[in-house]
Amino acid sequence: MKKITRIFALALAFVMAFALQAPVNAAEKAAVNQEKAQVNTQAAKIIAQITSLSENSVGISINNPDSDYVEVQIRDHKGKVVKTRYAISYSSFNLSKNKLYSFRFRRVYYSYSDRKYIAISNWSNSPSFTTAKYKVRQVGLILQALQRLNIK
């Protein structure tokens, strides 16, 4: 049973290393590419970026010149919506550890007669990020396992 658990852990680490493509020198930092984390939609003229990222939360800052509401969605790696918030300038989310997520946003306004938010722009692109943190030891173990399997 212990051997099966080790093999499963090794396979999971192997899959995550290639799926997330975290560079080796990113030790002790969250695996997110800040250039990819910035999204700009020309029609809405809104810019959103990840400003804080930890093992179990993410903060998204929204540069919104018109002070309209923005619907921010966090989706899992399968595209399923995990959380939704309506914000003007900043939104934070509590998330599960060691998972791959993406976020997207669109401009909305609140209709008081219908008592709901109505979208007035398309969804933005969906940059991915992860709540996993890697340590040098973990990356070294993954590389050793790859060498044992003769994978280049």
93 plus 143 within the same structural domain: no
Tell me, yes or no, if the pTM score tops 0.75: no
Ordered mean pLDDT values, 10 residues apiece, the chain (152 residues): 70 65 49 54 68 88 82 92 93 90 91 92 87 62 65 50
User: Would you say 93 and 74 are in contact if contact means Cβ atoms under 8 Å apart?
Assistant: yes
Q: Which of 111, 129, 119, 130 is nearest to 72 (CA)?
A: 119
| Amino acid 108: pLDDT | 92
35 plus 22 within the same structural domain: no
150 plus 123 within the same structural domain: no
Domain coverage including residue 127: 29-132
| Helix (H) / strand (E) containing 36 | helix 34-37
The count of domains in the chain is 2
